[in-house]
A and B are shown apart, each in its own frame.
Chain A
């Protein structure tokens, strides 16, 4: 689903060159739920931005759902974002003076769907997150958890191939965070591929795979899945895991 090979992202100021990503390689298969962890400034968000085609990269190869993104024009990148990626942001990023319906409808507008098709998709997406009765509400009339569920509905409405979540529970209390995580797990069980950046080690443990980023690189870490830790994955280093994934690919 997502193949990154030796991706580098360098931010250049007048005097300083910062390597936000350094020879970053990752392979995420369809249906996986991957947690990306790491300390602040390690490059998690840069990875997610590059993965979501929100930022450029300087070197390396990146293939999303079989499409190599190098050299694509703005229109083509926009279409890829619109059709293949669903974003869930930490701050929800809802437009405050749009109704819930209009917020979820937004990405569909750029897909050129008919009004009836858009309505069907918005209703379905809001049903998945349990907000069917709040079409006309404004974001400010909802709790933080509900707003994040709207954001998830917006990400789902276009039926994307992959969901990219940037600390989706970072602004929520534990109860609401739990609800959001359950929705994400349900979606994953339904076949959705999810990459989630998180600071929460407990959340990282809940998912199929945990990837740690340090200094713009995948850290040499142990892959574990506490809820279903198997002997096969236990104790593997990241290098071994990556090499294995590349070989699989």
Chain B
């Protein structure tokens, strides 16, 4: 009862203090808000870049890189793209719980029943069916296709919105580059940040795909490769690549447990050795397995410039705290008489400290709100200058909470020295 009464009294004193020097407190709030806002905006970028997109099983999802290049000029590192037969060997190994072999493509899509001839440029993931369970793709309607061959597709929410206004489109037919494929599943809005299954070629922050098509069908239809590929052989179209030394498929496996990783490694190494023994490549066996986190780190998904700028933001915030502290010091100096009076009539140093901290906390709350608005503006501004940040310049709820906490901490931190000074004088000196 007593403490709640003191708390409300301290809150009212804080409000009175703000009213007495609104310009000064506005400056303090603005100073801290800019510091917190800039840092928060940077943390939002780092958070998007560094977060685990699939935390429930990221350590069991393994990306496979191999070196089976048969040519004279082998790459320095194992390649993250595989040729068809190597990828199929992985899928058929029987070791992982499930696997996904895919490549990125693109088609123009329209509703086959529509009278409009408008087509939508759509990103395609040509994949084996295991992709959906492996990535925990969320279905709104229908389900995944069950085989790697068939005139069926799964579409993403955005395309479903564009073509079918978001209604259940399962059973409808899409015309994709002149071919008719039936929709068997529609995904919910699906954000993978980073897009771990395709973190290469600067695509780590792309949106998830519009269309997911069976791998064999996409190859049969000759849907071109829209990502990095390398080939030691000539071929006219992707449909000819199955038995060529054409490297364009990425392979992920999901293990039952992390212990299976060594079994997978042995299997791949043994396979590579067989190829080498058969004279198919001259390279030292070197196959690499990376879980999601290792893969994102290896691909340097977190932009070092953003990290450096975040560090600079921390320093900038320190300067803001220092400035706010100076302003508060002048404010507390001006309020010296009242501090002295309150202490004279019975307030202890502890009372005055709590009163000061309450004021700082309230200021921190206001600062937090302004900082989050500024942070949002900074992110919008960043996207204007650097459009590639569009998909990662997002203030997630945890960032909002962090922003508020940062504002509270910085506000209190900036008040600590002024409070310490204010309570050091003898009361008689304060009253003079």
Measured CB to CB, the nearest residue on chain A to B429 is A55
Measured CB to CB, the nearest residue on chain A to B2 is A112
> Pick the contact of B431 from A54, A110, A111 — CB < 8 Å?
A54
Measured CB to CB, the nearest residue on chain B to A109 is B9
Residues of B within 8 A of A97 (CB): 16, 19-20
The verdict on A78 contacting B348 (CB below 8 Å), with A49-B428, A93-B341 known, is yes
Give the complex CA separation of A93 and B2 in angstroms.
26
Q: Is the CB of A79 within 8 A of B346?
A: yes
Give the complex CA separation of A78 and B341 in angstroms.
12
Q: Is the CB of B428 within 8 A of A110?
A: no
Residues of B within 8 A of A107 (CB): 345-346
Max chain A Cβ within 10 angstroms of own Cβ: one of B9, B19, B341, B344: B344
Interface residues of chain B: helix, strand, loop or mixed (majority): helix
Give the complex CA separation of A107 and B349 in angstroms.
14
Q: Is B23 close to A, CB under 8 A?
A: no
Give the complex CA separation of A75 and B428 in angstroms.
17
Q: What string of 1s and 0s marks CB contacts (under 8 Å) between A62-100 and chain B?
A: 000000000000110111011100010100010101000
Give the complex CA separation of A54 and B339 in angstroms.
12
Q: Is the CB of A78 within 8 A of B431?
A: no
Residues of A within 8 A of B19 (CB): 97
Q: Is the CB of B344 within 8 A of A54?
A: yes
Q: Considering the complex, which residues of chain A in the window 98-117 have a beta carbon less than 8 Å from any beta carbon of chain B?
A: 106-107, 109-112, 114-115
Q: Is the CB of A82 within 8 A of B346?
A: yes
Q: Is A154 close to B, CB under 8 A?
A: yes
The verdict on A87 contacting B426 (CB below 8 Å), with A75-B350, A78-B351, A95-B338 known, is no
Residues of A within 8 A of B346 (CB): 78-79, 81-83, 107, 110-111, 158
Q: Is the CB of A154 within 8 A of B348?
A: no
Q: Is the CB of A54 within 8 A of B345?
A: no
Q: Is the CB of A106 within 8 A of B344?
A: no
Q: Is A52 close to B, CB under 8 A?
A: yes
Give the complex CA separation of A109 and B348 in angstroms.
12
What is the interface size of chain B, counting residues whose CB is below 8 A from a CB of the partner? Answer: 25
Q: What string of 1s and 0s marks CB contacts (under 8 Å) between A111-144 and chain B?
A: 1101100000000000000000000000000000
Q: Is B116 close to A, CB under 8 A?
A: no
Measured CB to CB, the nearest residue on chain A to B343 is A78
The verdict on A81 contacting B345 (CB below 8 Å), with A89-B431, A93-B431 known, is yes
Q: Is B347 close to A, CB under 8 A?
A: yes
The verdict on A74 contacting B348 (CB below 8 Å), with A54-B426, A112-B2, A115-B5 known, is yes
The verdict on A87 contacting B427 (CB below 8 Å), with A78-B351, A95-B338 known, is no
Give the complex CA separation of A78 and B1 in angstroms.
21
Q: Is B6 close to A, CB under 8 A?
A: yes
Q: Is A203 close to B, CB under 8 A?
A: no
Residues of A within 8 A of B9 (CB): 109
Q: Is B242 close to A, CB under 8 A?
A: no
Measured CB to CB, the nearest residue on chain A to B345 is A107
Q: Is A179 close to B, CB under 8 A?
A: no
What is the interface size of chain A, counting residues whose CB is below 8 A from a CB of the partner? Answer: 29
The verdict on A75 contacting B348 (CB below 8 Å), with A89-B431, A93-B341, A93-B431 known, is yes
B159 to chain A, nearest CB (A): 63
Measured CB to CB, the nearest residue on chain A to B432 is A45
Give the complex CA separation of A137 and B16 in angstroms.
17
Q: Is B342 close to A, CB under 8 A?
A: yes
B14 to chain A, nearest CB (A): 14
Give the complex CA separation of A41 and B9 in angstroms.
39
Q: What string of 1s and 0s marks CB contacts (under 8 Å) between B11-29 and chain A?
A: 0000010011000000000
A53 to chain B, nearest CB (A): 8
Q: Is the CB of A55 within 8 A of B427?
A: yes
Q: Is the CB of A55 within 8 A of B428?
A: yes
The verdict on A110 contacting B351 (CB below 8 Å), with A49-B428, A55-B427, A82-B346 known, is yes
Q: Considering the complex, which residues of chain B in the window 291-350 have a beta carbon less than 8 Å from any beta carbon of chain A?
A: 337-338, 341-350
Give the complex CA separation of A225 and B346 in angstroms.
34
Q: Is A56 close to B, CB under 8 A?
A: yes
Residues of A within 8 A of B350 (CB): 74-75
The verdict on A95 contacting B341 (CB below 8 Å), with A74-B348, A110-B347, A158-B346 known, is yes
B20 to chain A, nearest CB (A): 7
Measured CB to CB, the nearest residue on chain B to A93 is B341
> Pick the contact of B345 from A49, A55, A87 — CB < 8 Å?
A87
Give the complex CA separation of A52 and B16 in angstroms.
28
Residues of B within 8 A of A78 (CB): 343, 346-349, 351
Q: What string of 1s and 0s marks CB contacts (under 8 Å) between B132-144 and chain A?
A: 0000000000000
Known: A54-B426, A83-B346, A106-B345. 13 other contacts (CB 8 A): A52-B344, A54-B431, A74-B348, A74-B350, A75-B349, A77-B348, A78-B346, A82-B347, A87-B344, A110-B351, A111-B346, A112-B5, A115-B5
Q: Which 4 A-B residue pairings sit nearest by Cβ, starting from the closest? A: A82-B346, A78-B348, A107-B345, A49-B428
Residues of B within 8 A of A (CB): 1-2, 5-6, 9, 16, 19-20, 337-338, 341-351, 426-428, 431
Could you write out 7 A-B pairs with CB less than 8 Å apart? A78-B349, A78-B351, A82-B345, A82-B346, A110-B342, A112-B2, A112-B6
Residues of A within 8 A of B (CB): 45, 49, 52, 54-56, 74-75, 77-79, 81-83, 87, 89, 93, 95, 97, 106-107, 109-112, 114-115, 154, 158
